[in-house]
Amino acid sequence: MVATISDVARKAGVGIGTVSRVLNNSPQVSEATRQKVLKAMEELEYVPNPFARRLSLGKTLTIGAVAPFFTRPSFVERLRGVEAALADTEYDLLVYNVETPEKRDRCLKEIPGSRRIDGLLIVAFPPSDEDVERFITAGLPTVLINDSPTCLSRVMIDDVKGGAMATRHLLELGHRKIAYVSDPLTGPFDFTSSRYRYQGYRQALSEYGILFRPEYHRASEHGREQAQDMTYQLLNLEDPPTAIFAASDTQAMGVLEAARDMGLTVPADLSVIGYDDIEIAEYLRLTTIHQPLFVSGVEGVKLLLESIAASPPTPRQVLLPIELVVRDTTAPPV
């Protein structure tokens, strides 16, 4: 027969309220009484009812994470960090996958009033001003994991700096005909990463006195196949680039495949640099910009738990470092 909280109270010789306070780590219980209750729980093999515990705390003990396209490697790695950071806490993770703008809007509108979570992480895309106001009014602690300016706490990297860093690497190798392959710079999700990396690309070209050539920038939906098509277009230009900066490692993989299909050798005929440093980048020996994706998830959880504990929370910003990782896909032009 499964032991109940009443059984524990009876065996320990205390009231049910005292057992509840022990379960909730209340400082109002003496150490001697706490040990007596814990011993009774152990002897009865008592397993606390998680739902009752949540009710007693007035919390759901659940964290929500909203992420679009969470099968993408960079998003998966961030969510791995989130899950790892929650592993040693009492909190469960509820992931909302929003693959359309309509689903995103509905999700962000409904979450604050649902009372299903104690705090919210938003990965990669910025909420609207109306969304932010809704979170604040509902008292829902919210943390962003992206580069968008906001009054909410956020974990971010400097994508403008990263874009400039990638482009400067190619410039320092001697390349002057450098293309940029990316997602559309504007779109319904208003992702900022490709746009900010593009700004860094343009900034580095300007620093070196290189005139920007519009035909060297290609943008399409995110994916390897789309990056392949963009690369075919670039390499078939009358004056093709000698190097391509891809806004993600996934897109860089498409660039590499297109170069191979056209009989080009990387990096002798074409230098390629990516962004993110996902796991396969090392296998492909891809030169890339490393951003701490896993760590961003961990830091996001830390900020969110701080916000949940604080009343009212004070918005904080955590800027994570990025670095150039040079491997085998970049070299001076021939």
CATH code for position 146: 3.40.50.2300
How many Å apart are CA 118 and CA 97, to the nearest integer?
18
Please, what is the Cα angle at 222 between 216 and 228, to 5 degrees? 55
Residues 285 and 163 in one domain: yes
If one counts every other C-beta atom within 10 angstroms of the C-beta of residue 205, the result is 22
Confidence of residue 280 (pLDDT cuts 50, 70, 90): very high
In a domain, 147, yes or no: yes
pLDDT of residue 53: 55
Are 170 and 282 within one domain? Answer: yes
259 and 200 part of one domain = yes
Higher pLDDT: 50 or 7? It is 7
H helices of 236-309, in order, are 249-261, 279-283, 293-309
In a 3-state reduction of DSSP, which class is residue 37? Answer: helix
- Residue 17, Cα to own-chain centre: how many angstroms? 41
Burial category of 153 from C-beta neighbours within 10 Å (exposed 0-12, middle 13-18, buried 19 and up): buried
pLDDT at 188: 77
Residue 295 has φ and ψ, to the nearest 5°, of -65, -35
Q: Point out the domain boundary residue: 38, 56, 74.
A: 56
Mark whether 282 and 166 lie in a shared domain: yes
Kindly report, residue by residue over 157-175, the tens digit of the pLDDT.
Answer: 999 999 999 999 999 999 9
Mean pLDDT of 6-26: 82
> In the structure, what pLDDT confidence band is assigned to residue 52 with cuts at 50, 70 and 90?
low
Q: Is residue 329 assigned to a domain?
A: no
Does residue 50 form part of some domain? yes
Does residue 269 lie in a domain region?
yes
pLDDT in tens, 78-114: 999 999 999 888 889 999 888 888 888 898 899 888 7
Segments forming the whole domain that contains residue 20: 5-56
Domain presence at residue 132: yes
In this predicted structure, what is the pLDDT of residue 58? 58
Task: Tell whether 260 and 178 lie within a shared domain.
Answer: yes
Q: Are residues 196 and 298 in the same domain?
A: no
Considering the domain architecture, whether residues 223 and 145 belong to the same structural domain is answered as no
Residues 6 or more apart from 46 whose CB is under 8 A from it? 3, 4, 5, 7, 8, 40
Segments in 115-158 forming alpha helices (H): 129-138
Tokens of residue 43, six digits:
């002897």
Taking residues 106-132, report their average pLDDT: 88
In a domain, 112, yes or no: yes
Residues 284 and 172 in one domain: yes
Residue 331 domain flag = no
148 and 124 housed in the same domain: yes
What's the average model confidence in pLDDT over 184-204? Answer: 91
- Tens of pLDDT, residues 226-266: 999 999 999 999 999 999 999 999 999 999 999 999 999 99
CA separation for the pair 109, 111 (Å, rounded): 6
pLDDT of residue 42: 86
pLDDT score for 29 = 83
CATH number of 12's domain:
1.10.260.40
Number of domains the chain contains: 3
How far is residue 186 CA from its own chain's centroid? 19
pLDDT above 70 (res 50): no
278 and 170 in a common domain: yes
Of residues 30 and 174, which shows the higher confidence score?
A: 174
Average pLDDT over residues 282-299: 96
Question: Does residue 141 carry a pLDDT above 80?
Answer: yes
Q: Rounded CA gap, 231 and 235, in Å?
A: 6
Cβ-proximal residues to 243 (8 Å cutoff; 6+ apart), any chain:
170, 173, 175, 177, 178, 179, 270, 271, 272, 273, 330, 333
Cβ(288)–Cβ(281) under 8 Å? Answer: yes
Separation CA 310–CA 119 (nearest Å): 12
pLDDT score recorded for residue 300? 95
Same domain? 219 vs 178: yes
Of 52-56, 254-258, 267-271, the range with the lowest mean pLDDT is 52-56
| Domain boundary, last residue among 19, 35, 56 | 56
Mean pLDDT over the full length of the chain: 90
Do 195 and 284 lie in a common domain?
Answer: yes
Task: Judge whether residue 148 has pLDDT over 90.
Answer: no
Report yes or no on whether pTM surpasses 0.85: no
Residue 332 maps to a domain: no
